[in-house]
Each structure stands twice: as structure tokens, then as C-alpha cells.
Amino acid sequence: MNHFNASSAQQQRRVAKQVQRVDSNHFFNLLTSPQLLDQVEAHLPDHRERQYPPTATLSMFLGQAMSADGSCQNAVNEANVTQWLSGLPAASSRTGGYCSARKRLPLEMISSLARETGKRLTMQAPPGWLWRGRPVKLVDGTTVLMPDSEDNQAHYPQHGMQIPGVGFPLARLVGVMSLSTGAVIDAAMGAYKGKGTGEYGLFRRLRGAFDGGDIMLADSYYCSYFLIADLQARGVDVLFEQHGARNTDFRRGEPLGTRDHRVYWVKPARPSWMRVEEYDGHPDQVEVREVKVGKKVLVTTFLSPRKTSKKALGHLFTQRWHVELDLRNIKTTLGMEALSCLTAQMCEKEMWVYLLAYNLIRLLMAQAAMAADVLPRALSFKHTLQVWIAWNRCQFLSDGKEDIAALFLLIAQIQVGKRPGRVEPRVVKRRPKPYPRMQVPRQEARDSIKKRGHDKKLGLN
């Protein structure tokens, strides 16, 4: 009995010691270099000692983004359990204090951390991860839903085809991502409709993410004269699919091979959204190369077929699909398909927390890939996320030993399958529940049920 008590007390001391060691900065200490911690401290707001200081709040917010149960209540419960195991009295389980602490977090701090992490990952990628020694940056857009609150509706109106009070506010998101590491380098968020809120308009905010020597890889939506001219002036090469509105005639221009030629595009008329000074600053024409690979016509600024063959361009363009997988990892694996905050400001902050969490997982993958001598794209994002969550929760059992090499080994054990030319139908096999879509506001539907009962066709009466 005495032996049992002694062992139990020793175990409790060890648990308490480890929980104290895993403090609010543990997430950053494990994943990043001290430079990122400097970024955290540089953007910390003036604050007094509270139950939820900024670093602890951000750590909990990141935990929400990585948790299957992303509720504030779950985040507070986990913090209270950790505090109790460390020998401190548990705080209130109410979420009001934590929610207020999230509101006090500066948006600039979170967004700058996400950008800095993505930038650092891209700049430190080994030459073997690049395309012919050059960084390739992917661009694409998507949409996210958010709760149907008055503030969200005011800033991010719902789809115009939906009845007011029935749909959800809809935001558009455009991101610039690294092909080599998958990290988000920069992103912009705007309303789904309205002036300057289209994918192209949002991308104009992100042009600073491109430096001389970069390569932009994107779909046909971005195949624009003005965008190509602007990127060429920055020393950036492009590879796009030809826009459907532009006719490609391989009988014109300078022939370079079978369905491969160089042509000059003449500057079109000034768009209504472009200032006269900006329009005049563009050249009267740009030289591009149009090449047909398979069933697609590609447009690029790689003008020499000797230096960049048709086959090389086709292979590079197939890598564009990675941006679709990256967006799926952010929205589906992490759960950002629908944000949870009730104000537009907090929704934007929540988006950046998701992107920061995503980049930190990508940082883990890059470190594991380097240790295993494989490409980061060969590793599984979901597997890395699962391993990290399990690893982080079990740190207090490690008796003070944090074997990062073992963590990287676990991450690198699972690699994604090689599926060249993979084609999947965009259909859903699972049948949905036989409920109709909401056609009137919820309160109106409730009143109708009280008066008339449920629809007999649903079998609920």
C-alpha cells in the first residue's frame, strides 16, 4: 500500500512537471526557430496579467483550428484540465473570458505570423525541392461560409439566389501557395460579390508575394494580359491555361514546333476598374508562347523551346492540381469550410488562425521530409496533423524527453500514393437525408410547425 502511494505521488509529480513545461509557447518552441518567437513578441499588444494572456490565447485558438471539436467550450475545458494537472486550481469553465481574450488578439499579429511562416518555409526550401532551381507559386480561390449574423451579412452578403434569412454569408478567399512545401505565402479575403471582390481583384492585393525569379502557376481565370505584363515587369514567369474567351490560332506568330508558337498580344481597352495612370504604364504588347499539350492550350513566358520543352511545360502544369489539394486540406481536413465567429472582424481573424495552423503543420512536414530525404509533397497532411495532436497531448508522459527525431520519423512513415493522370468524378455517392432545403427564415418555419405541425411527407407527425 505504501509502495502504491509512493508510486502514485511520483507519477503525479512527473505529470505536473511535464504539464508545467508544456506552457502556452510550447507550440511555437517545438515547431519553429526563435525568429518566429521574436515575431510573436514584436506584435504582442500591451496587456496586463489575465487568465488568458495573448500567447496562451493564440495557442488555444490554434488548438481549436486543429481539433475535431473546434468549440470554445472544448478549448476552455482542455485549458482547465491542463491547469488542474499542473497543480493549479481550475478556472471557470465558462467561455466568456476566453472569447473576450480572442477579440483582444491583434489581427496583424496572427496574419503576420502566418505570412512569416509561409515566407520562411519558401525561402529555406532546398534547391532539390524547386523547379529547375526556381520557386513555383500556385494561386487559386475558394469560398467559405460563416454564421448568419447581422454583422456577417452586412460585410459578406449571402448568395443572391437565396432568400434573405435562409442562406449563409459567403466570403471569397484567394491564396498564394508554395508548390515545393505547400505553405500559404499570403492570402486575401473579401465578399463573394461586389466591386473588387472577384478572384482577380483579390489577387491584386497579393502581387507583393511574388519576387523576381518566381514562377506563377494558375488556371485559365488568371490568364490576363494585364496580369502577365505586370508579372513580367517584376521578373516573374507565368504558366497558365489559355482563357476560354481568347482564340488560339497556331497558323499565326512564330512557329516553334507542332502546335507551339510565339505571338504578341496587343494591349486591350482599359477596364473600368483600372486607373488611367496604371493603364498607361503597361506596354502596348507582350510576347508570350502558346503551346498545346494534350487537350489544353497553355500560355507561358518561357519563350524558348530549347530551354523549356513542351513536355516540361505539360509536366509542370499538372502540378497545378496541388493547390486544389491544399485548399481541401485547409477547408476539409482542418475544418475551415464554415467559420464560426459572429462578426466579420473575428471571421477574418479566424481565417488567419486556420492558415497559421496549416503553415505550422506544413513546417513539420518540411522538417520531416528533410530528415527522411523525401519531398514534402510525398507526405500526408492529415497523417502529420494526427501525429502532431497525439504527440502534443502525450508530452507529459515523456519524462522530460522530447525526441524530435522520433516525431519526424513517425510523420515520414506514411507517404501518399503516386497517382499520375488521376481522374475522379465530381459526384457524391452518399445519399443525403430526405429533408427539403429551408425556404423561409427559421423563426417563420417554427411558427408554421406550431400551427400546422410537420409536413406529413416527412413522416414526422
pLDDT tens track for 362-381: 999 999 999 999 999 999 99
pLDDT at res. 32? 46
Domain shared by 319 and 367, yes or no = no
Domain shared by 387 and 291, yes or no = no
- 513555383: which residue's cell? 136
- Looking at the 3D structure of the chain, how many domains does it have? 3
Is the whole model's pTM more than 0.75, yes or no?
yes
pLDDT at res. 25? 34
Residue 297 β-bridge partners: 292
pLDDT at res. 22? 33
Domain shared by 320 and 378, yes or no = no
pLDDT at res. 422? 73
Domain shared by 38 and 130, yes or no = no
Domain shared by 318 and 376, yes or no = no
pLDDT at res. 119? 92
Whether 222 is in a domain gets the answer yes
pLDDT at res. 392? 79
Domain shared by 136 and 281, yes or no = yes
Listed in sequence order, the DSSP H helices in 22-71 are: 26-31, 34-42, 54-66
Domain shared by 307 and 408, yes or no = no
pLDDT at res. 6? 44
Domain shared by 78 and 170, yes or no = no
Q: Are residues 359 and 182 in contact, defined by beta-carbon separation less than 8 angstroms? A: no
Residues of the chain short of pLDDT 50, as ranges, are 1-32
pLDDT at res. 448? 87
Final residue of a structural domain among 104, 139, 174: 104
pLDDT at res. 94? 92
Domain shared by 132 and 269, yes or no = yes
Tell me the three cell numbers of residue 384: 502529420
- 454583422: which residue's cell? 151
Listed in sequence order, the DSSP H helices in 67-183 are: 72-85, 96-104, 107-123, 150-155
Whether 436 is in a domain gets the answer no
pLDDT at res. 182? 96
User: What distances in angstroms separate CA 43 from CA 55, 145, 167, 264, one per listed residue?
Assistant: 11, 29, 37, 47
- Distance from C-alpha of 339 to C-alpha of 157, rounded to nearest angstrom: 14
Domain shared by 253 and 162, yes or no = yes
Domain shared by 88 and 197, yes or no = no
pLDDT at res. 30? 39
Domain range holding 369? Answer: 349-412
Between vectors from CA 171 to CA 165 and to CA 175, what angle results, nearest 5°? 165
pLDDT at res. 314? 95
Whether 341 is in a domain gets the answer no
* Half-sphere exposure for 70 (CA within 13 Å, toward CB): 19
Residue 261 β-bridge partners: 255, 290
Whether 417 is in a domain gets the answer no
Whether 441 is in a domain gets the answer no
Domain shared by 174 and 235, yes or no = yes
Whether 295 is in a domain gets the answer yes
Q: Are residues 44 and 312 in contact, defined by beta-carbon separation less than 8 angstroms? A: no
- Distance from C-alpha of 442 to C-alpha of 445, rounded to nearest angstrom: 5
Query: CB-based contacts of 273: which residues, under 8 Å, 6+ apart?
Result: 195, 196, 201
Give the closest residue to 177 by CA, choosing from 210, 227, 234, 137.
Answer: 137
Whether 138 is in a domain gets the answer yes
pLDDT at res. 434? 76
- 500514393: which residue's cell? 417
| pLDDT, tens digit (0-9, with 9 covering 90-100), for 260-269 | 999 999 999 9
Whether 449 is in a domain gets the answer no
pLDDT at res. 126? 92
DSSP string, 353-400: HHHHHHHHHHHHHHHHHHHHTS-GGGB-HHHHHHHHHHHHHTGGGSTT
Q: Are residues 447 and 172 in contact, defined by beta-carbon separation less than 8 angstroms? A: no
